[in-house]
Homo-oligomer: A and B are copies of this chain.
Amino acid sequence: MPGLRKQIFLGTFISSKSRQELQYLHDAAVCVDSHGKIVKVDVDCTSAELIDDRLLNKLGWEKSEVDVHVAKPGQFFFPGFIDSHVHAPQYPNVGIFGKTTLLDWLEKYTFPLESSLKDLAKARRVYTACIRRTLANGTTTAAYYATIDVDATNLLADLCLSLGQRALVGRVCMDNQDICLDYYRDESAEASLEKTLQTIQHVRDIDPSFELVSPILTPRFAPSCTSESMRGLAKIQRDMDLPVQTHISENKGEIALVAKMYPESSSYAAVYDDHGLLTPRTILAHAVHISEDEARLIAKRKSKVAHCPCSNSVLTSGAARVRWMWDRDITVGLGTDMGAGYSPSILEAARQTALVSRHVAMGIDEADPEHERSKLTIEEALYLGTRGGAAVVGLEGRVGGFEEGMEWDVQLIGLGDVNEEGFPADIDVDGGNVDMFGWESWEERIAKWVYNGDDRNTKKVWVKGRLVHSRR
């Protein structure tokens, strides 16, 4: 990524201090070097003069080599969102699921579309739309499932790199001849592993140190794989130290199927563990119905969970228990899980996380303290979408906040202001459905953004210092 100018960002910076608390830095400056790295965070920077006098001197930077970005009043910088579970090829199907649940949804809607993306022109169209749309919604990193097709998967990696989205890109392994449909499966375990290696090599060719795009090993889920392919992927994982992603315990029918297929394993989580796939770099999507034993095993292996509330609700899969998983030391992030999840937005996932947590609470007696504890706050939902997700995809400490040494994966948020007559203060700017009256505290501004915000409020998006999306 050559040729980036040095940048200084001035204004309000909001990020998660902890799960429970947001940190508000007002009148602050964040200085980003030509590699997109945050090299200095300075508070109490109220004017451009201060920068001339103090910051530039401290940094040893010349004024001529620096671009200064000043947030407008009311705007704020916020860490880019991490989508820790998303199927790029399913993007055109968002919202289309009827009354299906997981297994019939896969056969009716998902496999036909995924299979059709071996047509590379179609794949380019769908993947471009998906990346652009998620970037516009503030997603700076995505853990993508592609399809079984090597060329189309490689194309997805190319497009992430050229459009500037940080991504983990996985060719989907599904080689179980008894379960997978004839028209959409790998020929054999051997072929599955060979094709996986081809994609890994391709990513290494285009981004040698996996700076922006990384391969990720992607056994679709236990039913669609053979023991042989899972063991082979686990070996690749150990040899190359790569991340892994798969699904777990989304739906009761799926769980019963896994129990029937793998009677020798003591649980769904144990199936992955018995095949060497439960690693600290493993992302498990859903985990809606996992048992105490499974939670203990997942925590012990330091595997991570991608919570996908939109998907879990529309497919009637269940209501995942985030607090319960946190209590058991499991690291959790958010996933849109498009196309079962209907929305490209992690902000929507955060909103639905708060709502689903209340449905979890409704299932617990009000006298039980767990009732109240189950409810997640806005702060907690935003933590899941930023720092939580960063930890899930292995980028903890690199993205998700504004600390020195982190990379500038950030969105600039602007909300709509209402003038004294009740009309939009600036008719040239679409502030979306968020109407600020001016008396709101910063905490209330955040609450109104989380509950009514959309991509119109994401004014600019940067990844590794590079501006990858902007709008009025």
Contacts and interface: CB of A to CB of B under 8 A. Distances in A.
A459 to B, nearest CB: 14
Given A319-B359, A362-B318, A129 B342 contact: no
A355 B94 contact: no
Contacts of A98: 377, 447
Nearest to A454: B454
B358 A314 contact: yes
Interface in A439-467: 439-440, 444, 447-452, 454-456
A49 interface: no
Nearest to A133: B435
Interface string A109-132: 000000000000100111111001
A422 B125 contact: yes
A57 interface: no
A366 interface: yes
A316 B129 contact: no
Given A95-B448, A128-B422, A314 B355 contact: yes
A444 B96 contact: yes
Give the copy number: 2
Given A126-B437, A430-B430, A433-B455, A316 B450 contact: no
B128 A361 contact: no
A133 B363 CA distance: 35
Given A98-B377, A129-B422, A319 B448 contact: no
A252 interface: yes
Contacts of A237: none
Contacts of A124: 421-422
A95 B447 contact: yes
B448 A125 contact: no
A26 B94 CA distance: 25
B252 A366 contact: yes
A97 B137 CA distance: 24
Bin the interface of chain A by size. 35 or more
A418 interface: yes
A450 B362 contact: no
Contacts of A94: 448, 451-452
Contact of A316 (B97, B137, B362, B422): B362
B92 A435 contact: yes
Contact of A421 (B125, B421, B430, B435): B125
A127 B313 CA distance: 34
A372 interface: yes
A439 B352 CA distance: 29
A127 to B, nearest CB: 7
A7 interface: no
19 contacts: A92-B435, A95-B450, A95-B451, A98-B447, A99-B375, A124-B421, A127-B422, A129-B422, A129-B437, A313-B359, A314-B355, A316-B358, A316-B362, A319-B359, A343-B433, A343-B451, A344-B433, A359-B362, A430-B456
8 smallest CB-CB distances across A and B, nearest first, come from: A128-B422, A95-B451, A342-B451, A129-B422, A125-B422, A95-B448, A316-B358, A313-B355
